[in-house]
Amino acid sequence: MSETSYDAVPYGNETHPRTHISHLFTIGRLFNLTPPDFRKGRVLELGCASGSNIIPMAADYPDAQFVGVDLSEAQIRRGQELIGRAGLKNIDLRAQSIADFGSAEPFDYIICHGVLSWIPPEVRTALLKLMRQNLSSNGLAVVSYNAMPGWGAVRSLRDIMLYHTAGFPTPAEKMAQARALLQFILDSQGDSSSPYRNFLEQELNLLKGANSNYFFHDHLEEHNQPFYLHEVVAMAAREGLAYVADTDVPSMFLGNYKPNVGQLLAGTNDPVRIEQYLDFVTNRRFRSSVLMRAGTPINRSIASARIEELWLQSLLKPENAVADGELAPDIVVRFSTETGLPHTARGALSVALLSMLSRFGRPATVAEIVVAARERYRLPQSEPELRQNLCEIALRLFLMRIVVLRSDPARYVDTISERPVGLPLARVQAVDSDRVTNAFHQSVAIDPTGRIILQAMDGTRDRAALAELVAKAITSGRLTLLHNGNAVTDVAAIEQNAATTVDTLLSGFRVNALLSA
Ligand SMILES: C[S@@+](CC[C@H](N)C(=O)[O-])C[C@H]1O[C@@H](n2cnc3c(N)ncnc32)[C@H](O)[C@@H]1O
């Protein structure tokens, strides 16, 4: 196989939580489908790069079988090395083209993130055909792509950069030249606050925050075709696939838009048409769409009773602590998320349920929350009545993005034990990566000291032993401890710093769901 541009500029070590099989299962259940059990299913990821998205799922579900396919041999090799070090037996990564892939057995979940826009038209058709041919009868697929209209304006910048960098041979030169040209165009705008200047400024800021593989593959790669949602739905339909939902379900909810949007779309029955207009309103530029085999009707009205099947996790905290015991019937409590999204709960029932939900922190079932709330706040209502109330509240808050609904509570602990244990895969990832995957399939950045102690957290070392490792790494020169810009060499100062650093890192691991039982 010849070297691909992804061998030269490999894709990053990222996970994509919205493509996680438990999330696809949740969406299927919310829309009244019966997707296969993700804990035991067969899962295929197409264009999996180095497997950073699929390998953590394989680590989480040892009874499920995983296959990843990517054209880039170098990326597949990197993934295979990680699988070998982690000792995973239920995953196979293959260096091959999507166009050549075949399987005797169908897959329950097919994931294809960030590929559809980046392949030539004939591979695109092969990809959708392959999805249809290899998806089990009630299986779910997810395909994500650059979307129109948001990508429309960005496309002109891509054209400018492609034109300018055509003569430069290496990806590094192309990236440097492209950035320099954009900066030059921006600097040439003078002090005006023209729409073009604002646009350039905004895109340059986005690119500054983006890592180089995103920059290269989105802007300087040969193929990058954005699509309108209706185009993807029509392409999928031609191959026998039907659109189910967006992986960001709240984005489909008209209540999240200005009232005039809801009024305009109220008379429309076609869910794709509604979402297409929402993209026009928001200028959306990326989409992640869930598909299934065509033929089964989809009932998209979410019954609040469905929530009883799931685990709830609140992003809200009360602005003032709610005291235990009976609550005043007219009590009003303001809650907010870490990002400042406010929510006001009114009345004893709502306040008690929401306060209990946020106290759990970890994902909890409706039944757990109701039993605890009833006892703590001495609620007079029956358990079934409270469960129904909580389901209704949780569904509303889920659609507002302030409650997360999960089909899997995730295996982690939120206390720091005497001899802490790190999540097994994260410990292996920390050997050669500054990003590790947490229990919620999120990619967490980790510094050099964090990498050292996470690798060592196998349950045999207490805080003192972990601090000793950090102190040794500093005295041996593997890590540098700076004070006012100078390296610290005093042993007592190093030991004290190592102890506080370990405390801080362990708290960070706890908050970031990186601790195992
Ligand atoms: C933009 S990257 C996305 C990678 C990964 N899915 C992610 O989102 O992090 C596109 C990936 O598709 C792979 N790819 C491109 N053409 C392919 C083909 N014909 N068959 C298999 N993989 C392909 C590339 O090697 C690359 O890893």
Please calculate the CA angle 299-304-306 and round it to the nearest 5 degrees.
Answer: 70
| Residues 72-93 pLDDT 10s | 999 999 999 999 999 999 999 9
The burial of 487, by beta-carbon neighbours within 10 Å (0-12 exposed, 13-18 middle, 19 or more buried), is given as exposed
Instruction: Compute the distance from residue 46 Cα to the ligand 1 centre, in Å.
Output: 7
End-to-end Cα distance, the chain: 44
One-letter amino acid for residue 385 of the chain: E
- What is the mean pLDDT of the segment spanning 470-484? 87
The burial of 97, by beta-carbon neighbours within 10 Å (0-12 exposed, 13-18 middle, 19 or more buried), is given as middle
Band of pLDDT at residue 221, cut at 50, 70 and 90: confident
Strand partners, 344: 334
pTM over 0.85: yes
Does the C-beta of 49 come closer than 6 Å to ligand 1? yes
Residue 52, SS3 per DSSP: coil
Q: Quote the tokens at residue 441.
A: 């399939």
**Nearest ligand 1 atom, CA 115:** 10
Does the C-beta of 79 come closer than 6 Å to ligand 1? no
Instruction: Compute the distance from residue 249 Cα to the ligand 1 centre, in Å.
Output: 25
| Residues 96-138 pLDDT 10s | 999 999 999 999 999 999 999 999 999 999 999 999 999 999 9
Does the C-beta of 66 come closer than 6 Å to ligand 1? no
What is the greatest pairwise CA distance in the chain?
75
Does the C-beta of 98 come closer than 6 Å to ligand 1? yes
pLDDT at residue 325 is higher than 90: yes
Domain ranges of the chain: 5-148+226-293, 169-220, 304-406, 421-516
- What is the mean pLDDT of the segment spanning 313-338? 93
401-to-41, 251, 314, 498 alpha-carbon distances in Å: 28, 9, 9, 39
| DSSP of 272-304 | HHHHHHHHHHHT--EEEEEEEETTS----PPPG
Nearest alpha carbon to residue 104 among 138, 56, 65: 65
Nearest alpha carbon to residue 18 among 300, 412, 286: 286
Contacts of 219 (CB under 8 A, 6+ apart): 157, 158, 161, 162, 178, 207
Three-state secondary structure string covering 425-472: HHHHHCCCCCEEECCCCCEEECCHHHHHHHHHCECCCCHHHHHHHHHH
Instruction: Compute the distance from residue 234 Cα to the ligand 1 centre, in Å.
Output: 22
pLDDT at residue 1 is higher than 80: no
Instruction: Compute the distance from residue 70 Cα to the ligand 1 centre, in Å.
Output: 6
Nearest alpha carbon to residue 373 among 361, 360, 362: 360
Cα 455 to Cα 459: distance, rounded to the nearest angstrom: 11
**Nearest ligand 1 atom, CA 112:** 6
List the single range of 26-40, 432-446, 474-488 with lowest mean pLDDT.
Answer: 474-488
Does the C-beta of 126 come closer than 6 Å to ligand 1? no
> How crowded is the C-beta side of 447, counted as CA atoms within 13 Å?
10
Does the C-beta of 47 come closer than 6 Å to ligand 1? yes
pLDDT at residue 477 is higher than 90: no
> How crowded is the C-beta side of 16, counted as CA atoms within 13 Å?
23
CATH 3.40.50.300 at 5-148+226-293, yes or no:
no
